[in-house]
Structure 1
């Protein structure tokens, strides 16, 4: 349970009870003992259409308001735990605003090859329980195994960049591998982590895998898609040991060291631990770490703010994160995931879901991001809030927030929705232009 279940992104395929905001805000079957044919796998599908009025509004008097009718067709095919397809994308038809001669369809949504990746909202082949698993689609709060290079990362924070990410997982004997690309159609983030099960290697396959592991990871940002930015490479070495293992619960400790290859003096160290508790109705995951940063390296470098910070980092420097001054010092990091459901139906959407990560630095900076979602009135009403605060306590702090409300009625197949929040748009000058969005509309879906 301590490993990241990256292919759990398949939960995005099961959107029959909920959806996403239009802007950025993751027992074995019984086997018959006779010779009869096994029961055929039951396939199911969902068709959905949403229509909303969407307004993008600049702040501080920059630019001009733009208004659109947004139509989001979606088709979902669920073929079981090892296959699923989710296709669909928002199409924004201009109502008002924009420069003279602006096209009917919002150009920024489709002006690069990477933007066509948004047509794939989910494609699953295999799973973490299979020797190999592959996932394509948006990345939300993505963590690369140990999480010391990539943690809580989203590839959709830039509102004009809509890539499809890819995740590969594979198991071969004592070796577990996860590789990912933030943009399968462009040269952007590429990373991988190899985790070696030491007990399996030394004494043979254990009853429970992953009790003692040694892992190495590396991530490269090529900086060529979604807007040009400085390229860079980070690497990390990690060791982990499970100190308590009970049915449904694990506690572990970990330590690691990382750096920037080719950059002398850029390194960091970490020590910490965590607890994972999983049951049918209540899930709890806690992480606590003490960290040391030196020479511009930091753990979680590719985090929730990265798709904006790679152009302009939070803080007084104003340059891209790869070149920004990051003081030497220490930090404390904490992360929590809480999920609760009143019934054990096994689906992805819970009555309560909370995810939050926070880091406090010895030199006075504080970063936090999180999401809270609540379902009420027999799942007819869902309210979700998401927020990000980076660099608080210092000049140039960055804040983003969004909210979404969905209310299902007439048997649940028709729903009303409203979303709103703040945005930051990267410009050709390498700065971030503040803006906001608000949207209201209706949706209808049909599942079989």
Structure 2
């Protein structure tokens, strides 16, 4: 093993010598799944590189150990040698291709497990992980197509799909697809969580009412009516088929340089299920300066008959097997008390030198919901770049059903440190996981990884 590691390290050190037309300036690109998510309507507005239409590219290789360890008395002891290559090619904001996937070679573990971790490649959908991002067009294009990983994804208004992670199941690695299009006063966004399988699909249509009623406005989208529908085919484990629909009205009240505020109200339900409905009203604000990029949202919600806003959320790919709580049933069949809730969300980015783009000294994403019957859900992510961007620390955590029996808690942390001029970096990560079983339950586990990486970023 030591000889193998030495050989790989020598090979990696040769990579920066390869010739490229132009390399990516940010040393942390693509640094995490969040940067591979589809662009929203506001993404890229402050991106300093968006005006650069030249080609840029990056090569990266990481080698690490990756171990699964026991947790909560569950036997789980497996170790792997992981090699993860990455290749990125992009041009402006309209084209991006990011290829790569981790290859885990077994070092120790149960007999008969095979050389390569079987769970990473045992179904057709797992081959989708080879495409991290394929983007053609942008959100400002008449038509845009995007494939890759969904992490913290919200479907426009976010009242059905909010902060969704389609790879929350650690044994499932699909590639999602997102289609966006604009035609006159109509904007459409449609998605599928798995382009190689039949899982979760949906879409939302936004009508610019000012445009429809009074002609082309000076500012688009100030008064909109949105209709969204999402359907889960229920073909995984014990999960049942689920369809949700929602109607939203949005009005932008204030538009100033660097500031925008809006209010909204909506109603949704489960078609074909009597008494399953919910209502929502709230407000939001966006603040954009050379150093700050802030989006705030506050909502008051009502839920009845098992319907709830944000049904397809960060925990959904686990809850479709077993929802948080003591019932031990999939989310589609779990009881959900009638009541009220308050939901808040904050997206904060800060960069001391106004670098622009996605990579900032501080990025914080937090969503929390408190229910009138004593339940509390929270999903948070934070990353920091320190010491001239040579050190990056990232934390994330998820709590579902806190305050009630059977609550679910997950967390992870990652550290990356660049040295020797920035081309070489060390990394370490660890956290907790939940693995779905054939019986439809969730098996707790933990993971840890340490390793080295090298790329041609500068």
- TM score, norm. by length of structure 2: 0.89
Q: Among 410, 415, 429, which residue is 1:405 paired with?
A: 415
Query: What corresponds to 1:385 in structure 2?
Result: 395
Check conservation: 1:267, 1:294, Cα contact below 8 A.
Answer: yes
Q: 2-side partners of 1:138 and 1:405: how far apart? A: 21
- The Cα of 1:347 is off from its aligned counterpart by 2.8
Q: 2-side partners of 1:355 and 1:447: how far apart? A: 26
**Partner SS for 1:78:** strand
Q: Among 184, 187, 192, which residue is 1:176 paired with?
A: 187
Query: What corresponds to 1:78 in structure 2?
Result: 90
Judging changes above 3 Å, is the alpha-carbon distance between structure 1 residues 14 and 204 closer, same or farther for their aligned structure 2 residues?
farther
1:359 matched to 2:342: no
Query: What corresponds to 1:396 in structure 2?
Result: 406
Query: What corresponds to 1:259 in structure 2?
Result: 269
User: Where does 1:49-448 land on structure 2 (aligned, <5 Å)?
Assistant: 49-98=61-110, 100-224=111-235, 227=237, 229-447=239-457
Structure 2: gaps (5+ residues)? 1-23, 38-43, 46-50
Check conservation: 1:44, 1:447, Cα contact below 8 A.
Answer: no
Q: 2-side partners of 1:156 and 1:338: how far apart? A: 24
Q: 1-side partners of 2:320 and 2:27: how far apart? A: 35
Q: 2-side partners of 1:411 and 1:64: how far apart? A: 39
Which string of whole-angstrom CA distances, capped at 9 and with x for unpartnered residues, describes residues 95-128 of structure 1?
A: 0012x22110000000000000000011000001
Check conservation: 1:221, 1:231, Cα contact below 8 A.
Answer: yes
Query: What corresponds to 2:28 in structure 1?
Result: 17
- The Cα of 1:15 is off from its aligned counterpart by 7.2
Q: 1-side partners of 2:446 and 2:52: how far apart? A: 49
The root-mean-square deviation of aligned C-alpha atoms, in Å, is: 1.9
- The Cα of 1:229 is off from its aligned counterpart by 2.0
Which string of whole-angstrom CA distances, capped at 9 and with x for unpartnered residues, describes residues 110-166 of structure 1?
A: 000000000001100000111011111100110000000000000111000001111
Which string of whole-angstrom CA distances, capped at 9 and with x for unpartnered residues, describes residues 226-276 of structure 1?
A: x45211100000000011111121111100000000100000000101111
Check conservation: 2:76, 2:445, Cα contact below 8 A.
Answer: no
- TM score, norm. by length of structure 1: 0.91
Which string of whole-angstrom CA distances, capped at 9 and with x for unpartnered residues, describes residues 362-405 of structure 1?
A: 00000001101000000000000000001011000000000000
- The Cα of 1:19 is off from its aligned counterpart by 5.1
- The Cα of 1:58 is off from its aligned counterpart by 2.7
- The Cα of 1:344 is off from its aligned counterpart by 2.1
Check conservation: 1:14, 1:348, Cα contact below 8 A.
Answer: no
Check conservation: 1:21, 1:419, Cα contact below 8 A.
Answer: no
Q: 2-side partners of 1:51 and 1:334: how far apart? A: 39
Equivalent pairs counted in the alignment come to 422
Check conservation: 1:195, 1:214, Cα contact below 8 A.
Answer: yes
Check conservation: 1:186, 1:224, Cα contact below 8 A.
Answer: no
